Amino acid sequence: MFIDTHAHLFYHNFKGDIDKVIQRAKDAEVDYIIVPSTDIPSAKQIINLCNKYDIVYGAVGVHPHDTKDWDNILLKKVEEFAGSNKIVAIGEIGLDYYYDYSPKDEQIRAFKDQIELALKLNLPVIVHNREADDDMMEIISTYCGSGLKAQFHCFNGPLERAKELIKLHHYFSFTGNITFKNANELQSLLKKINLEHLLLETDSPFMTPVPHRGKRNEPAYVNLVAEKIAELHNMKPQDIGRITSFNAFKMFGIGSLPETSFTYKIGNALYINMTNRCNADCVFCRRKEEPFIKGYNLKMSKSEEPPAEVYIKEIGDPRQYSEIVFCGFGEPTLRWEEVKEVAKYVKSRNGKTRLDTNGHGNYINKKDITPEMKDLFDSVSVSLNAADQEQYSEIMQVEPAMFNEAVIFTKNAKNYVDNVVITVVSYNNIDVEKVRRVVKEEIGAEFRVREYF
């Protein structure tokens, strides 16, 4: 269920009972542990740990504290160790200006050299950052578009910095300190981090979570970190385990790609993945590159789209869910007959339904489909994302006239569905307030903002 992506099991206080530590981790449903090095000697120890324990994987690199003697010989040693079996990242590397263990110039040089090595070897990096935000961001930004993947471990930066890093497709992890009584600011930050960019870690033997604070930390306690994240995001620990484990697979290649989900549960709602096809191609949509959400794999071709009976069987009793939502990475009205059949089944058994759409259903089906929504849907959510034809065309990558199609669809839907909502993604230059005014003054629907990051 869980992957601890950061545990220093080579530390001396693990030597006496490492076998028991590994067993306790397995008993706590920890599937894998990634052990990052801090220097060359610890890299050697990690290779041994990887060879001895099936659930242990490693990362090799030189920590900023140990970069005062950085040179090409050290870089070559890191590269040599990176070629070992089960090494999945370069790390722990980065910058630390809190302590004066290594000169800043040497830290920066070592950091850049090891990033370049990671790119050369097609490996992600595990990043340590303490009181070096400006230099860190300047360096990381220069690798935009390079394919670099970074995990910012034990993250405690400001929300705006997190947003910048998310736009660069990087990941974050938080340790047991999120369980501390005085962690209100950190918890507030964590609430706003999209789970699609989150990994789990313990930072063992440090940062021990409550109720074990003051004792040695170990990977088995990663479930306590997951529990706190679940609490902050109003989810269940198993949801956090599924999501973060899939993120770790995407980041480090550990585990396996889940099979395609035709239905998927988020919170108390069940979502229906009708299709990956869409007549639009939104600039912010990940359906082509990464059709994954909340740890589920939604990828499927047209030939793999199942009939309505498959969805109905997976739904079972719809009353066990807060609502059944037709929402995947494609436009559901492309399969309008199947959507109606499934919705009819749900409503016949007193379930609640919601249709998430781009509002192009009439155009797609060459008729006004809104009258057919009557008694089939409790709510309809239309993604508008712009206040005028020009920006709509640019963002959705469709003809400008499709903006009016969506507006007309929404107005017509109000005649047949009690709750009609227009949503907008808070992406780059989208003028959210301008869209809000258009919705209020011209369409008269409810309005909701979907956070992009």
pLDDT tens digit sequence for 255-311: 988 999 999 999 899 999 999 999 999 988 888 888 999 999 999 999 999 999 999
Answer yes or no: are the C-beta atoms of 213 and 182 closer than 8 Å: no
What count of Cα atoms within 13 Å lies in the side-chain half-sphere of residue 273?
Answer: 25
SS3 readout for 186-239: HHHHHHCCCHHHEEECCCECCCCCCCCCCCCCCHHHHHHHHHHHHHHCCCCHHH
pLDDT tens digit sequence for 229-239: 999 999 999 99
Candidates 310, 391, 324, 318; CA nearest to 353 is: 324
Average pLDDT over residues 105-124: 98
Q: Where are the domains of the chain?
A: 2-252, 263-451
Q: Which residues contact 142 (CB under 8 A, 6 or more apart)?
A: none
pLDDT at 267: 86
Q: List beta partners, residue 204.
A: 7
Answer yes or no: are the C-beta atoms of 210 and 193 closer than 8 Å: no
The answer to which of 48-52, 320-324, 424-428 has the lowest mean pLDDT is: 424-428
Q: How confident is the model at residue 453 (pLDDT cuts 50, 70, 90)?
A: low
Above 90 in pLDDT, residue 450?
no
Prediction pTM value:
0.88
Q: How confident is the model at residue 385 (pLDDT cuts 50, 70, 90)?
A: confident
CA atoms of 414 and 412, how far apart (whole Å): 5
Above 90 in pLDDT, residue 431?
no
The DSSP bridge pattern shows strands 125-130 and 150-152 to be: parallel
Tokens of 150: 């970074």
pLDDT tens digit sequence for 80-99: 999 999 999 999 999 999 99
User: Percentage helix, strand, coil, to 5, in the chain?
Assistant: 45, 20, 40
Equal fold, 2-252 vs 263-451: yes
Above 90 in pLDDT, residue 451?
no
State which fold the 2-252 domain adopts.
TIM Barrel (3.20.20)
Q: How many CB atoms lie within 10 A of CB 77?
A: 16
Above 80 in pLDDT, residue 429?
no
Amino acid occupying residue 4: D
What mean pLDDT, rounded, does the chain reach? 95
Tokens of 362: 């009439």
Question: What is the architecture, at CATH level 2, of domain 263-451?
Answer: Alpha-Beta Barrel (3.20)
